[in-house]
Structure 1
Amino acid sequence: MTAIEIVAEPGVPQVLVTREFAAPASKLLRAHTDPDLLARWLGPEGLQLTVDVLEPRDGGRWRYTQTDAKGERFSFFGLYHGTPSTQGIVQTYEFDRQPGRVYLNAISFEERGERTVLRQNTVFQSVEDRDYYVRGGMEVGLRASLDRLDALVTGRQ
């Protein structure tokens, strides 16, 4: 398993994530844009993910809902900017519990032979918004999600 690097510099409204996968960029892209695959890896442990809308094209919408064991629902949604490709994905990101706070999320895939480095750059409107995201369990959720993504794209899931 490859280490995940998560950088959230104090005072900077940004989170940078880096993770290397033993898979081509095409598999990572498919895992991000196929609703059945996305539901298998995205989100913290213990939450059920339902993909409500996934239109991976320029201007397309996406929306998914996570449901906990008590039935409480958390929805996330946004728009794609540009068509997702093996070069990367750019999308807005909103959380229903933080209305009007929009994040910009850019994911890049850099192939290195048989491996691909995924980099995710999430930019927030303010440091306070970023801190809310971090306090909400971002690191635990990201680590669990990327571990499941690794298992999926390498055939271990």
Structure 2
Amino acid sequence: MGDTEFIIEPGRQDVVMIRTFDAPREVVFQVVTDPELIPRWWGPHVLATRVDRMEVRPGGQWRYANIDSDGGEHFFRGVYHDIVAPERYVRTWQFEGTPEDVALETVTLEAVDGGTRYVAQSVHRSVEARDAIIRADGPRGGRESMDRLAELLASHPNP
């Protein structure tokens, strides 16, 4: 239904990623919280993804590995803090390579025109930490993930 939009304002600690999908929010929520489906859409398209842990409940932990073509693994992890299906979830988000930066991510799903507006806001500990993610081309990975999620949702059976 559209391209991925980013809101990255100078001097702020957050990044907001927005995408509208042509699928009901119940389906979007189910797909983004299903550990068996995460490897099909999460991360840049040049990397494979493995789910090591995913407990979608308050206090539940998650950990994913992105695997490059040489077999190198890059780990991401966090803790779920709030789950309100199918409206939102809140979790921490951390790249294990930079343990000093833990972001708080809130994903909201809003029903719009027969589809779902997905909004992910990640708040980092500082502007500098947020900017490091931008310099590491985080938005490209986010955009590719959202493109892959759109493809998966297009092929996923709707209830």
TM-score where L is the length of structure 1: 0.95
Q: What is the match of residue 20 of structure 2?
A: 20
| Per-residue deviation, 1:100 | 2.8
Structure 2 counterpart of 1:148, which letter?
A: R
Aligned counterparts, 1:1-157, within 5 A: 1-155=1-155
How far has the Cα of 1:5 moved from its partner? 0.9
* Secondary structure, aligned partner of 2:23: coil
1:3-60 Cα deviation digits (max 9, x unpaired): 2110111111110111111101111111211111111000002111000000000110
Aligned-pair Cα RMSD in Å: 1.2
How far apart are residue 152 of structure 1 and its match?
A: 0.8
Alignment check: 8 A CA contact 1:56 1:84 kept: no
Q: Distance in 1 between matches of 2:155 and 2:144?
A: 17
Tell me the distance in 1 between the aligned counterparts of 2:147 and 2:102. 26
Q: Which runs of 4+ in 1 moved over 4 A?
A: none
SS where residue 31 of structure 1 aligns? helix
In structure 1, the residue corresponding to 2:37 is in which secondary structure? helix
Percent identity reads 36
Gaps of 5+ in 2: none
Alpha-carbon distance between aligned partners in 2 of 1:84 and 1:62, rounded to the nearest angstrom = 17
Name the TM-score, length of structure 2 as normaliser.
0.94
Indicate the SS of the match to 2:108: strand
In structure 2, C-alpha distance between the alignment counterparts of 1:29 and 1:151, rounded to whole Å: 15
Amino acid corresponding to residue 106 of structure 1 in structure 2: T
Instruction: Tell me the SS of whatever aligns to 1:10.
Output: coil
Specify the code of the residue in structure 2 equivalent to 1:24: P
Structure 2: how far apart are the matches of 1:121 and 1:47? 23
